[in-house]
Amino acid sequence: MRTIFNKTLIDIAKDDPRIHMILADIGYGEIEPFDEAFPGRLYNVGVAEQNMTGVACGMAMEGNVCITYSIANFPTLRCLEQIRNDVCYHNQNVKIVIIGGGVSYGPLGISHHSTEDIAIMRALPNIVVMVPCDCIEAEAAVHAMIEHDGPVYYRCGYKNESDIHEGPINFQIGKSIPVCDGDDIALFFTGPIGYDAKKAVKRLAEEGISVRLVSMHSIKPIDKEEILTSAKRFGKILTVEEHNLSGGFGSAVAEVLAEAGCPCELKRLALPDVYVSKVGSQEWLREQYGLGQDDIYNAVKEMLNK
């Protein structure tokens, strides 16, 4: 997904001289083509994410569209005060992009996990939060990010993610994208973990269980219409996310249901409220912490058997 992100950004930047990238000691193969294509429009501030965000905000105030870009939690947690006080408070055209959401960098340990970011970013006023699930959504999300006037948080996958969508999509901020329809239960996911959700849904279909599978790529604003329509239609919703249970995507869905007074059984499948202290591949860590394909499959079965 990161390759698609960078290629798409270069294509857009050819016709938009406002676009600049501000980095914090990262590159090494993925970012160099942008610098080669647009000399003078990429800045590397070194290991100083707070400075990266401040520089981006200052340049945005001069009429530019600035992308801060780094891995996992470094563009968010390390510079949260600058995002809050500079970017969001002044509602500036800064796009905060992370590569490797969730436990994509599993072998590097907790310092490289991004498991609280959705909760933190969606709590900030003025910011859009988007989490594309595959390369098809990732490309469309870059266009949406640049077209939006104001702060955007873009949570990108790492690499080699499998596509979930099998055809063209209609990607809009504040809307969701159905992957397949069903009659028994709604399953909402955000991000690349949707591929495991899709495999679980196929297994369930072989047993005669029909699931409406929906990609919720826009966390803030969120698709309230889809949530409430599915709640009334099925009475059961399962949410799946590669993020801490507290305050993330599932919590956003719960807020919509609660505020609407909509009776619906909701189960949130997410990382438990612990630090992911084990070290291993992304797929292995998902299984270790209850987010594997089997866990999604079993969660649907349990909800329907109640």
Whole-model pTM?
Answer: 0.96
pLDDT tens track for 189-227: 999 999 999 999 999 999 999 999 999 999 999 999 999
What CA–CA distance (Å, rounded) separates 212 from 254?
18
Cα 119 → chain centroid: 11
Does the pLDDT at position 26 exceed 90?
Answer: no
Of 28-37, 87-96, 110-119, 126-135, the poorest mean pLDDT is in: 28-37
* CA–CA distance, 105 with 279 (Å, rounded to integer): 9
**What does the alpha-carbon distance between residue 213 and residue 150 come to, in Å, rounded to a whole number?**
30
CB atoms within 10 A of CB 14: 11
Q: Cis (ω within 30 of 0) for the bond into 221?
A: yes
28: pLDDT strictly greater than 70: no
> From 3.40.50.300, 3.40.50.920, 3.40.50.150, 1.10.1740.10, which CATH number describes the 177-305 domain?
3.40.50.920
Distances (CA, A) of 61 to 21, 92, 93, 265: 15, 7, 8, 46
Ordered by start, the domain boundaries in the chain are 2-156, 177-305
The three-point CA angle 44-46-50 to 5° equals 95
Tokens at residue 134, please?
């595959």
- Residue 161's H or E segment, with its range, is none
| Vertex 102: Cα angle to 76 and 66 (nearest 5) | 35
2-156: CATH homologous superfamily?
Answer: Thiamin diphosphate (ThDP)-binding fold, Pyr/PP domains (3.40.50.970)
